[in-house]
Amino acid sequence: MSEEFYNDGNYIFINTEAAEAYISDELFDKTDEDPTASSLAYITGEGVHTLGLFYMRFFNTSEITPELRDKTRVRTLNYPNLITSVPSGEITKKELTINGQTDTYRILRYSKGDILMDAVSKKSASNVELLTKLILRGKIPKSLAYEDIYFVWKKNFEINGFNPKSPMALIQAMVARMCRNPGNLKEEFRISAGKGTANPHDYIMLGLNQIAANSSVMVALSYERFFEKLTSSLIMTQEGTPQETSPIEKVLTL
């Protein structure tokens, strides 16, 4: 256990004078604005219910100034399961740049002795379903570095006692396929990551629908949302965009 926390067997508490957690605002409940919105984080009377994947900073003083915040090291909480966190301070919203990416965050303010999360997480298949859906939609928290995504997914399986009954190499391949170069969505991020020249947070994770739209005309038209994919297919054809050719397409065009 890190010195920033202490564990009494029931809860994990903050062990520094103060701490802040930064959770992307887009993950919070917005059903009052959009009834179809799916939310990952909720503020309730108990605290904040969210996935334990977010940035944190720890401070040796309770007086946190913008200057102190900027020069304090950013850490990442990597606990890929639902948690209930109970900060005693005010929850605010602010635009911040962390690891080179600017986003609007909900800032959770903790004091020493506040509950970060339960010490023992309940096993549930619904926790696996939640994270899997989040990944497949390309909506994972920005705090995750590219190389962490596979291990976080695997750890979620382990925490919940879940066997995916699929080779883990397939899970790795899915992550590699979904993470793209922000400057060229046709290019998988693994290419620049493998050269060691890319910021590990500077990727865009596409959902399955976007993957289909950015692969080839055949893949796009054979996926859902036909009229949307027809538009992307026409653009690919008109611009002469290089397309991937699947083995099935080769068989069909023999």
What is the pLDDT confidence band of residue 222, given thresholds at 50, 70 and 90? low
C-alpha span between 165 and 159 (Å, rounded): 16
What pTM did the predictor assign?
0.76
What is the SS3 string spanning 144-176? CCCCHHHHHHHHHHHHCCCCCCCCHHHHHHHHH
C-alpha span between 254 and 243 (Å, rounded): 18
C-alpha span between 147 and 175 (Å, rounded): 9
Query: So what's the pLDDT on residue 237?
Result: 56
What is the pLDDT confidence band of residue 133, given thresholds at 50, 70 and 90? confident
With a cut of 60, say whether residue 221 has pLDDT above it. no
Q: Which two tokens stand for residue 116?
A: 């970060």
Q: Which two tokens stand for residue 46?
A: 């108990």
C-alpha span between 231 and 213 (Å, rounded): 9
